[in-house]
Amino acid sequence: MNKPILMVVDDDPQVLAAVRRDVRARYREQYTVVSAGSGEEALEAVRELKARGDALALVLSDQRMPGLQGTELLGETRELYPVARRLLLTAYSDASAAINAINHAKVDYYLQKPWDPPEEKLYPVLDDQLDAWQAESLPEATGLRLVGDQWAPRTHAIKDFLSANLIPFRWLDVSVNPDARLLLDAARVTPGELPALFFEDGGVLRDPQPRDVAERLGRSLSAAESLYDMVIVGAGPAGLAAAVYGASEGLKTLLLDCHAPGGQAGSSSRIENYLGFPQGVSGSELTRRALTQAERLGAEFLVPLEVTGVRVDAGYKRVTLGDGREIVTRAILAATGMAYREHPAAGIATHTGAGVYYGAATTEAPAFAGRRVFVVGGGNSAGQGALYLARYAREVHIVVRRDSLRDTMSQYLITQLEKTPNVHLRPMMEVTAVEGEGHVERIVLTTADTGAAQVEDADAVFVFIGTRPRSEWLPAGVLRDAKGFVLTGRELAAAEAFPRTWKEARQPLLLETSVPGIFAAGDIRAGAMNRVAAAVGEGSMTVRLVHEFLAL
Ligand SMILES: Cc1cc2nc3c(=O)[nH]c(=O)nc-3n(C[C@H](O)[C@H](O)[C@H](O)COP(=O)(O)OP(=O)(O)OC[C@H]3O[C@@H](n4cnc5c(N)ncnc54)[C@H](O)[C@@H]3O)c2cc1C
């Protein structure tokens, strides 16, 4: 297998020689460094690489070149190599053009000239970008391969588990990919045993549960300690932040999730407003960084493990898992966030996983290349989902009950949607049914004011509305509002049941629930801000409060 390619582009021969020298000095063992003296030459080279089937890891291009400019080259490169990292090399005076490029050409980063010393200004950036590329790319013939039926809910569950847990795999749809049949025949896998997961060592898992996959990949599902200072339930942004701070501040910390790290944020294709990431960051990249950081600092992470209950036993808390086991801890952080509520339209339940997906735009988008898909909902998550789907689908229709997206979606997303020609807004409409034989084929839309129904062809429906807190696993003593969101700190005083529930001489700490030592952070909390930064802030704050609680 050829080494992956790292391409540098600049029209100034001296700069090109210098950047090639510095890049080769560090990366030539693992990558082939290719250089080009113009945008056109580089694009030609990228096309040739694609035709040869070579892997392109990264393009670092000057912005100002005669002819094809850096941003144009990087935009074209994205079409051919969607996961290759695209970096712009700019002069200081071009910084505003570079920031623009982040928005328009979806550039991953911009570096400024000069980059001396490269150990400080060039290599950390390239290391980081190449790590991200490696996490997303998978060589054609190696690694995990998942064979299944695109319309089978069980296949979707495994696909979603692998994607969300950042486990690279190759997806082979049995009905369209001839390689899939060859693999199945060779291993004598019958249609009833799908999906089948093929490992590099030749092993096969037939119709596995996510738990079987985790175990086969050598992941531990058992807690290492008999007693923890803090068990964090839910590894979304709030839980991950708490794990980073808990572990770094000396708490024996265990983080658990029933599905994958990252939570709702992990399913986001691009978070544009999280501090410190001017070019935006995908949910999976933010998750990868946060989890690496938490584990490096000493937090233990177990997935997939569902927490089903908590018992308070002489001050200790016993966290009950779905398989009946218990984990003992002195404090708990409930960071289980929110989930989408089932859409009530006829046919939705029967087609879930077979063309109807909750969130999951990043997992399923490639399967709908060239198709006609619908997004239900007008919030930011729907907007991001629609933009991501538009990269693959022929048409993306956003169905909303209101007359516009103005009151429900951030302006930056509305602007991007308006500029995306294959996205169509369908205002004042509601989905009233989904139909099809074995998978989604049609959608029934009803006009909000007249009640008139129309049937349209549809290949998939992505639902982004109706959220509910995931607080059902908490003990009854944890007070909630009418919708099930958890009350914490000062808000508890207003709850009618509070005086009967809280028996301590002190008041609850800021993010403490009505059960001493059980805290809540992020979207699960009543009055939460529903933002990544807010969840991260609350998760981090909890650690200080847990310290206070443990010292009582
Ligand atoms: C598609 C999308 C795009 C978004 N984009 C943005 C954006 O651009 N900017 C922004 O600021 N915000 C954005 N948000 C909102 C943001 O992602 C959330 O506010 C944030 O993720 C909340 O974090 P959390 O940690 O509180 O909970 P969640 O992210 O909901 O994580 C909860 C975790 O708990 C786990 N869990 C649940 N129940 C259990 C159980 N019983 N046992 C074990 N584990 C359990 C879940 O599997 C999940 O991983 C977006 C949300 C979505 C859905």
Q: Nearest 5°: CA angle at 535, between 533 and 539? A: 115
Q: What pLDDT, in 10s, does the model give residues 431-451?
A: 999 999 999 999 999 998 899
DSSP string, 377-408: --SHHHHHHHHHHHTT-SEEEEE-SSS-STTT
Q: What pLDDT, in 10s, does the model give residues 322-350?
A: 999 999 999 999 999 999 888 999 999 99
328 forms beta bridges with 318
Separation of alpha carbons 229 and 299, rounded Å: 11
**Structural contact between residues 494 and 480, judged by C-beta atoms closer than 8 angstroms:** no
Report the pocket of ligand 1 as residue ranges, CB < 6 Å: 233-239, 256-259, 263-265, 267-268, 271-273, 306-307, 335-338, 359, 380-381, 384-385, 470, 473, 522-524, 530-533, 535
Whole-number pLDDT of residue 167: 87
**Structural contact between residues 369 and 346, judged by C-beta atoms closer than 8 angstroms:** no
Residue 79 — very low, low, confident or very high, per pLDDT cuts 50/70/90?
confident
Whole-number pLDDT of residue 96: 74
Task: Please give the number of the atom of ligand 1 that sits closest to the Cα of 239.
Answer: 25
Whole-number pLDDT of residue 278: 80
> Phi/psi at 479 (nearest 5 deg)?
-75, 145
Given ligand 1 and candidates 264, 305, 485, which is best to mutate, with the most ligand atoms within 8 Å of its CB? 264
Q: What pLDDT, in 10s, does the model give residues 154-205?
A: 999 999 999 899 888 889 999 988 889 999 999 999 999 999 999 988 899 9
pTM exceeds 0.75: yes
**Structural contact between residues 23 and 85, judged by C-beta atoms closer than 8 angstroms:** no
Given ligand 1 and candidates 286, 320, 332, 336, which is best to mutate, with the most ligand atoms within 8 Å of its CB? 336
pLDDT of 367 above 60: yes
